[in-house]
């Protein structure tokens, strides 16, 4: 049986290097939930998935909370 090794694509030099580390602790149940999700959807890169998921959520929330000239009630009138 031949070992198949995936070759990683080179990251362009224009992409800034990730130098900052963030750590979060999870319960065993939370880890099982995340691992089951990753397995179900065949996601192999947990770090990238976590990073993209968190940043997507933050970006959506910031767009929702973007300041406007009028509040939502006044705009719906």
pLDDT tens for each residue of 5-55:
777 777 788 888 889 999 999 999 999 999 999 999 999 999 999 999 999
- What is the model's pTM? 0.68
Return the C-alpha torsion angle 59, 60, 66, 71, nearest 10.
-170
Nearest to 51 by CA among 18, 14, 15: 18
- At 11 the three-state DSSP class reads coil
Distance of CA 53 to the CA centre of its chain: 2
57 contacts 51 by C-beta, under 8 angstroms: no
């Amino acid at each position: 049986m031949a070992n198949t090794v995936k070759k990683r694509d080179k990251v362009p030099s224009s992409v800034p290097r990730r130098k900052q580390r963030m750590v979060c602790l999870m319960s065993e149940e939370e880890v099982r939930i995340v691992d089951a999700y990753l397995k179900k959807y065949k996601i192999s890169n947990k770090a990238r998935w976590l990073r993209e998921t968190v940043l997507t959520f933050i970006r959506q929330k910031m767009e929702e909370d973007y300041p406007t000239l009028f509040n939502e009630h006044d705009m719906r009138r």
